C-alpha cells in the first residue's frame, strides 16, 4: 500500500484537470483493501474508488481519500473445446486486456478495443461500443464490500446490467470495490460487424479475422474520438437518451433524418451526438471547454478549462437539447464535487 498526500489529480483523470486529492491510496492486495473497509486504517471520508479516471469530471479539489485499485494479472482460468474463461485484475488497463485476448485468439470483446479506463470500471459502467457490451462476456465479478471488508462474488445475472449501467452504479453504488473480472470468450471467431461502418472498415483490411476487426474498431475510433493524451476528454459526456415510442414517432415526423435505434421493445434510443449537433454545438468552445469537432457527444478540455467550465457547458447543451427536442440528456460521465 502506498499512501500519498495532497497529490495532483492531473495524471489520474483523462480531462487533464489539475485538482488535488487530500489523500490517495494505491492498493495492490485484497488484504490492503480489507484493512481500509474494516477500518483498521482510518481514512478521511468521503472515499472514492478511481479506475482509469476516464469517465469522471472533477469540479474541485477532492478533500477525502481516493482509492486506486492496482490489482494486476491476466489469467486463463479454464479452457474448454469452444470457449475459455479468462480473468483480469481491476487495475489492468482495459485495452491491454482486450489486446491480449485478441492475440490469444479469444473473441467476444474485440469490438470494445481502444476504450480507455481500467478493467475494474468495466462491469460498473457496462462499457459498450460497435454493437457489443461488456455484459455479453462477463460471467462473474470478485468484489470486496466497503461495508465490512468481506469478499463477495457477483454472477452476471445479479448485476442488473443495462445500457452503461449496473447495480454497482445504481442500487449498490459505493458498496463494493471490484478486484477482478471474469469473462467467457469464444475460441471460434464469429465477428459482430452489425454496427454502421464496421463491416466496411474491416473489409478494407482483408479477411474479417479477430485482429482485423480489432484494427478496424481502432481505426474508426481514432477517426472520430479525440485521444485523451492529446486533448482532455471523458469519451461520451452524455448517454444516448431512451424515449418512448410515441416521442420517437413525433420526432421522426418533425425531423425525418433523426437516427433512432429500435433495439429495445417498448423504448427507442436516440443519438445524443446528433441532437447536440443539430443544436449547433459541434466544434463550439466556451473558453477552453469545448465540443469535439468530429463527435458532438464528446466534451473536451482545450487546455486550461476547469471542471466547472466543462460542467457549465454541458448544462447549456442539455438546456438547448431540451428546448429544441423536448428530450432530457443524462450524463454518462460521473461528476464529482
Ligand atoms: N452523430 C451526429 N453528430 C455527431 C455525432 C454523432 O450526427 O456529432 C450521429 C451519427 O452520424 C450516427 C449517430 O449519431 O448516426 C451515432 O453516432 P456514433 O455511431 O458515433 O455513436 P454514438 O451513439 O455517438 C456510442 C457510444 C460510444 C461508442 C459509439 C460506437 C454512448 C453514449 N456512446 O456513441 O461510446 O464508441 O456508440 O459504438 O452510447 C463512450 O461511451 O464513451 C463512447 C465513446
Check pocket membership of 224 for ligand 1, CB cut-off 6 A.
Answer: yes
In total, how many domains does the chain have?
3
60 shares its domain with 85? no
Under 8 Å CB-to-CB from 109, ≥6 apart: which residues? 97, 98, 101, 132, 134, 137, 183, 185
Q: Among this protein's residues, is 236 annotated catalytic?
A: yes
Boundary of a domain, candidates 223, 251, 283: 223
**From the CA of 112, how far away is ligand 1's center (Å)?**
14
Q: How confident is the model at residue 125 (pLDDT cuts 50, 70, 90)?
A: very high
Instruction: Specify the residue for cell string 468530429.
Output: 294
Separation of alpha carbons 87 and 99, rounded Å:
14
Among protein residues, the one with the nearest Cα to ligand 1's atom 34 is 236
127 shares its domain with 164? yes
Boundary of a domain, candidates 223, 245, 268: 223
To test ligand 1's pocket by mutation, which of 94, 129, 255 has the most ligand atoms within 8 angstroms of CB? 129
Cα Dmax for the chain:
61
- The mean of the pLDDT values for the chain is 96
Cα four-point dihedral sign 91, 93, 97, 103: negative
Number of neighbours of residue 260 by Cβ within 10 angstroms: 16
219 shares its domain with 78? yes
Domain housing 118: 74-223
Check pocket membership of 162 for ligand 1, CB cut-off 6 A.
Answer: no
Atom nearest to 282 CA in ligand 1: 8
215 shares its domain with 256? no
Among protein residues, the one with the nearest Cα to ligand 1's atom 26 is 129
Would the pTM count as exceeding 0.75?
Answer: yes
Report the run of H or E that residue 24 belongs to, with start and end.
strand 20-27
Boundary of a domain, candidates 204, 223, 242: 223
pLDDT at 191: 95
Under 8 Å CB-to-CB from 3, ≥6 apart: which residues? 23, 24, 25, 26
Q: pLDDT tens for residues 246-299?
A: 999 999 999 999 999 976 667 899 999 999 999 999 999 999 999 999 999 999
Burial class of residue 250 in the structure, from the number of CB atoms within 10 Å of its CB (0-12 exposed, 13-18 middle, 19+ buried):
middle
Amino acid at each position: 500500500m502506498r499512501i500519498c498526500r495532497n497529490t495532483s489529480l492531473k495524471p489520474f483523470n483523462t480531462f487533464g484537470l489539475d485538482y488535488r486529492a487530500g489523500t490517495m491510496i494505491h492498493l495492490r492486495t485484497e488484504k490492503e483493501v480489507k484493512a481500509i473497509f474494516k477500518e483498521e486504517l482510518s481514512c478521511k471520508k468521503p472515499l472514492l474508488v478511481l479506475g482509469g479516471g476516464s469517465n469522471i469530471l472533477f469540479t474541485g479539489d477532492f478533500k477525502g481519500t481516493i482509492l486506486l485499485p492496482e490489482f494486476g494479472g491476466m489469467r486463463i482460468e479454464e479452457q474448454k473445446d469452444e470457449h475459455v474463461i479468462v480473468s483480469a485484475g481491476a487495475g489492468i488497463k482495459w485495452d491491454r486486456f482486450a489486446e491480449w485476448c485478441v492475440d490469444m485468439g479469444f473473441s467476444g470483446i474485440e469490438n470494445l478495443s481502444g476504450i480507455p479506463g481500467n478493467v475494474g470500471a468495466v462491469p460498473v459502467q457496462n462499457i459498450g461500443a460497435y454493437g457489443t457490451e461488456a455484459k455479453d462476456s462477463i460471467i462473474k465479478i470478485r468484489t470486496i464490500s466497503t461495508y465490512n471488508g468481506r469478499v463477495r462474488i457477483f454472477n452476471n445475472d445479479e448485476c442488473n446490467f443495462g445500457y452503461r449501467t449496473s447495480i454497482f452504479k445504481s442500487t449498490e453504488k459505493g458498496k463494493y470495490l471490484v478486484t477482478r473480472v471474469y469473462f467467457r470468450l469464444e475460441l471460434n471467431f464469429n465477428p459482430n460487424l452489425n454496427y454502421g461502418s464496421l463491416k466496411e472498415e474491416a473489409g478494407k483490411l482483408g479477411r474479417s479475422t479477430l485482429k482485423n476487426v480489432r484494427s478496424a474498431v481502432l481505426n474508426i475510433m481514432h477517426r472520430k474520438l479525440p485521444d485523451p493524451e492529446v486533448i482532455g476528454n471523458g469519451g461520451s459526456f452524455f448517454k444516448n437518451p431512451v424515449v418512448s415510442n410515441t416521442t420517437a414517432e413525433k420526432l421522426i415526423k418533425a425531423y425525418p433524418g433523426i437516427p433512432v435505434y429500435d433495439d429495445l421493445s417498448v423504448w427507442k434510443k436516440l443519438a445524443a451526438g446528433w441532437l447536440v449537433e443539430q443544436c449547433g454545438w459541434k466544434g463550439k468552445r466556451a473558453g477552453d471547454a469545448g465540443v469535439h469537432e468530429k463527435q458532438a457527444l464528446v466534451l473536451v478540455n482545450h487546455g486550461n478549462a476547469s471542471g466547472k467550465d466543462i460542467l457549465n457547458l454541458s448544462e447549456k447543451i442539455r438546456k438547448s437539447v431540451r428546448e429544441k427536442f423536448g428530450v432530457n440528456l443524462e450524463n454518462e460521465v460521473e461528476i464529482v464535487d
